[in-house]
Amino acid sequence: MIKKTTSCLVAVPILVLCGWAALHVLSGWLSADPSAGLERRVPGKDGAPPVAERTKDELRIELAGKLETFDGVPSELPGNWPRFRGADFDNIYKGGAKLADGWAEDGPKVYWSVELGEGHAAPAVLDGCVYLFDYNEETRSDALRCFSLADGQEIWRHSYALPAKRNHGLSRTIPAVTEDCIVAIGPRCHVSCVETKTGVFRWGLDLQKDYGTTEPLWFTGQCPLIDGGKAIIAPGGSEVLMMAVDCKSGAVVWQVPNPKGWKMSHSSIMPLKVLGEEMYVYAAVGGMVGVSKEGELLWDIPWSASVIAPSPLMVSADRIFITAGYGSGSLMVQVEKTADGYVAKEVAKNGPKDWLACEQQTPILVDGLLYGIMPKDAGALKQQFVCYDPAGGELVWSSGKTARFGLGPFLLADDKFYVLDDDGTLNMLALDKTGYVPLAQYRILDGHDAWGPIALVGTRMLLRDSTRMVCIEVGGE
């Protein structure tokens, strides 16, 4: 039951920004017919609305929108998953809870489920509340929704009208949540900032109209980053590649020029420590960059990948790994510091049949080894869960041709990998350097396109497919 509705239609939102990346989306290869899938991978033949249709609306969106409150209340359950890839940006849960090594015949307990608009956006969790960016096709509006972690009851919803047509779903991103505020980015490159506890609107930004951002082919996948009270976003616009915005005021703190004209990708900005210096690393369409926390461009390196969903990953003190789908494979970059500053060099560039590659999800680094799901164009290894040695580029083990996992997400917790198939089947695997060790399997969601990243808080796991989010129990004795 709705308690009250507060209209907050305000004038044009204040200038700002915040970015995200995450929910890595791709298109065509979902066809059951492999030959049809090859054609659907071609932009323009993938079911996506034409560019003219996606960009014809010239009206400025009123991002202040409206705030609705509901009967749900925050829970007191402990634990947080406050942003894309978790607290440490590595997709590894470190909460310390003991998780079950297997499930009963009827699977793990389901606490609650919520119907969603079609999309792939995944939740963030803070202080007993679940935050999810959604799209309501009936009202044609973006919506940042807050639910109780305990029972899934909605607490509040901030929404604004936005014309958009389904394009392999709509919403794709994970909000960044702090005690002070939440920053979210919508499918058509709109950034909004609201107060965490109340959902009250602070500021917003239209990246396409204000910065000349080119809307990605399958909507925005960049997950926002909040660091030191600033929202860090990569518009990939005509003049600005990356920028920082004050989360309280919406004032622009710094901007990085974009003289090479690199575009916004589906990848997210990662805060990495390279050669001991903290910096923001981003894989744009055109190349990868390292930017200081003060907004200085430290290094860049070109890369010809056209669709990039995974995010940059540090594999050693001076090496960064990035991968992508659509035949792009992977790139290993070494960063050196000279008397004149930083220099980035290509160490290796490989096709998807030659080395580790991922289409949507970012690999996980554990004890010097990389784990991930191979893309559909990886030959014999397609869609297998694999382990690679990044030092030598050698395959350590794979799950085998009878164990394939689609394009879905994976997470590491309590020395176990949790891998979600496209159809909503959750797989539990042992963290093992020597080989593939399956532990349990159960179909949690009776849907499809279960691509949204997994969140884990305490012993409660949040999963979604294209139209539903569920909360399950994965704890053990």
pLDDT at 383: 96
How many residues are listed for the chain in this entry? Answer: 477
Cβ count near 389 (within 10 Å): 14
Question: Which pairing describes strands 92-93 and 410-413: parallel, antiparallel, or unpaired?
Answer: parallel
At a CB cut-off of 8 Å and minimum separation 6, what does 400 contact? 384, 436
Cβ count near 306 (within 10 Å): 16
Residues paired with residue 92 on neighbouring β-strands, in sequence order: 412
Q: What is the pLDDT along the chain (477 residues), one digit of tens a residue?
A: 333 444 443 333 333 333 333 333 333 333 333 333 433 344 444 444 454 444 444 567 899 999 999 999 999 998 999 999 999 999 999 988 899 999 999 999 999 999 999 999 999 999 999 999 999 999 999 999 999 999 999 999 999 999 888 777 789 999 999 999 999 999 999 999 999 999 999 999 999 999 999 998 889 999 999 999 999 999 999 999 999 999 999 999 999 999 999 999 999 999 999 999 999 999 999 999 999 999 999 999 999 998 999 999 999 999 999 999 889 999 999 999 999 999 999 999 999 999 999 999 999 999 999 999 999 999 999 999 999 999 988 999 999 999 999 998 999 999 999 999 999 999 999 999 999 999 999 999 998 899 999 999 999 999 999 999 999 999 987
Q: Is 172 helix (H, G, I), strand (E, B) or coil?
A: coil
Estimate the share of the chain in helix, then strand, then coil, as percent rounded to the nearest 5.
5, 40, 55
Q: Which tokens go with 381?
A: 């290894």
Of 173, 176, 171, give the one whose Cα is nearest residue 116: 171
- Rg of the chain (C-alpha set): 21
Cβ count near 115 (within 10 Å): 8
Residue type, 326: Y
Q: Is 40 helix (H, G, I), strand (E, B) or coil?
A: helix
Nearest-angstrom CA–CA distance, 239 and 255: 9
pLDDT at 166: 76
**Burial tier of 159 (Cβ tally within 10 Å: 0-12, 13-18, 19+):** buried
The DSSP result for 396-418, as a single string, is EEE--TT-B-TT--EEEETTEEE
Cβ proximity of 236 and 247 under 8 Å: no
Q: Is 85 helix (H, G, I), strand (E, B) or coil?
A: coil
Residue type, 387: C
Cβ count near 135 (within 10 Å): 25
pLDDT at 59: 64
Domain annotation for the chain: domains and CATH numbers: 2-473 (2.130.10.10)
Of 458, 462, 463, give the one whose Cα is nearest residue 475: 458
Cβ proximity of 173 and 220 under 8 Å: yes
Neighbour-count burial for 408-435, b at 16+ CB within 10 Å, e otherwise: bbbbbbbebbbbbbbbbbbbbbebeeee
